[in-house]
Amino acid sequence: MGNATAKGKFEVTDWDEKPYAKLGESGKLTKASVKGSLTGDIVGEAVTEWLMCYASEKEATFFGFQKIDGTVAGKKGSFVIEMSGTFDGKVAESTWSVVPGTGSGDLEGLTGEGTFHSPHGTKADYSLDYEIAKVSAGR
């Protein structure tokens, strides 16, 4: 399969964020456990663990891993993406990439990179440029 682009929406269904350290007057470090669903070219459920650094109450830098169970262009399986991004008080933006070797089922051999863009709220637009390499039967 050649290169393709998957686009759609991600919606947060559960967000559990807890601080674990204070930074100065208004900053903090937090961990967020997040659940959500994807629609569009990727259809499925996702679980994410975020580590977030708030320089102030309104600005954050974050990093996380997200496991997605579902389908990509009709191919069923699961995979993990790693994400890093920023929140400026109005919009969260992130770049992400598929963690090599995490594709399973029909998604074994999945690689790719993408982005998400989310105005403050529970919905985000995503885009993933991906490829599913053929995996040799002898491994």
Is 137 a member of any domain? no
Residue 58 has pLDDT above 90, yes or no: no
- Helices H / strands E in the chain, number of each: 0, 9
Q: pLDDT class for 119, splitting at 50, 70, 90? A: confident
Q: Which domain holds residue 70?
A: 4-132
Instruction: Establish if 97 belongs to a structural domain.
Output: yes
pTM: 0.90
Are 48 and 64 a contacting pair, CB within 8 Å? Answer: yes
> Which value, to the nearest 10 degrees, does the dihedral of the CA atoms of residues 20, 23, 26, 30 take?
-30
In a domain, 38, yes or no: yes
Average pLDDT score over the chain: 93
In the block, tokens 């994400």 appear at 83
> Structural domain tally of the chain?
1
CB hemisphere CA count around 44 (13 angstroms) = 20
CA dist 81 and 30 (Å) reads 20
CATH number where 34 lies: 2.40.350.10
Helix segments in 18-112, DSSP class H: none
Per-residue pLDDT reduced to its tens digit, 73-108: 999 999 999 999 999 989 999 999 999 999 999 999
* Confidence band for 1, pLDDT divided at 50, 70 and 90: very low
